[in-house]
Amino acid sequence: SQTIHQWPATLVQPVGSPLSLECTVEGTSNPNLYWYRQAAGRGLQLLFYSVGIGQISSEVPQNLSASRPQDRQFILSSKKLLLSDSGFYLCAWRDRGLDTGELFFGEGSRLTVL
Amino acid sequence: GQNIDQPTEMTATEGAIVQINCTYQTSGFNGLFWYQQHAGEAPTFLSYNVLDGLEEKGRFSSFLSRSKGYSYLLLKELQMKDSASYLCAVLDSNYQLIWGAGTKLIIKP
């Protein structure tokens, strides 16, 4: 069966510090991968998605970046965090070629920037 | 622009029935999803509708009217564990998901 894990689950970082959130998927090949951010009382905001190794599409201009060094690994990074980067970050995957398929989410990472 | 509207919060009684509405205006339509999200956790899939009508799955049912840009999620025989946020999301013409802000459902004994 397919599983998705992301870490760390919780982190508190000072403004200006770097960030690295990691997500891995098991039990499937060539998935589409996604990074979302969820602010309190707001809908999920798509940050990045990837249809393959090294292929990253950015949906929102920001100081975040994403990379996909391996087929089932997706990393969200920042060189210098802002207060506005605080939120709940979710990694997700979907079967490639199944455009109407459901998204499967990781456990989420709660980031607080102080 | 693209827009998904759903009530911010609803309250219902254990054992009762509740209907959560979702209206949408999107560039194209390739289906509508409902997800459940407990506080501090990731969303989990509940239902997918692409054709008009009612889809029933146990205590949960989802309805879609494409002509009206409207869907609802019906929860029957409410249990305390149903206390959660319910997210409506539409697949637009580019197969990108547009998300509503979610409806927080509070179940009272």
* Rounded Cα distance, B61 and B46, in Å: 9
Identity of the residue in A43, A45, A108 whose CB atom sits nearest the CB atom of B4:
A43
Backbone angles phi, psi at B81, to 5 degrees: -70, -10
DSSP string, A16-45: T--EEEEEEEES-SS-EEEEEEE-TTS-EE
The fraction of chain B above a pLDDT of 70, given in percent, is: 100
> Mean pLDDT, to the nearest integer, of B91-106?
92
Kindly tell me if the per-residue pLDDT of A82 is higher than 70: yes
* Rounded Cα distance, B37 and B23, in Å: 19
Identity of the residue in B42, B45, B99 whose CB atom sits nearest the CB atom of A43:
B99
**Per-residue pLDDT reduced to its tens digit, B8-17:** 999 999 999 9
What rounded mean pLDDT belongs to chain B?
95
**Given the structure tokens 């029935």, which residue do they identify?**
B17
**Given the structure tokens 């499937």, which residue do they identify?**
A28
**Per-residue pLDDT reduced to its tens digit, A13-68:** 999 999 999 999 999 989 999 999 998 777 899 999 999 999 999 888 678 999 99
**Per-residue pLDDT reduced to its tens digit, B44-59:** 999 999 999 999 999 9
Interface of B with A in 11-70 (CB under 8 A): 30-31, 33, 40-45, 48, 50
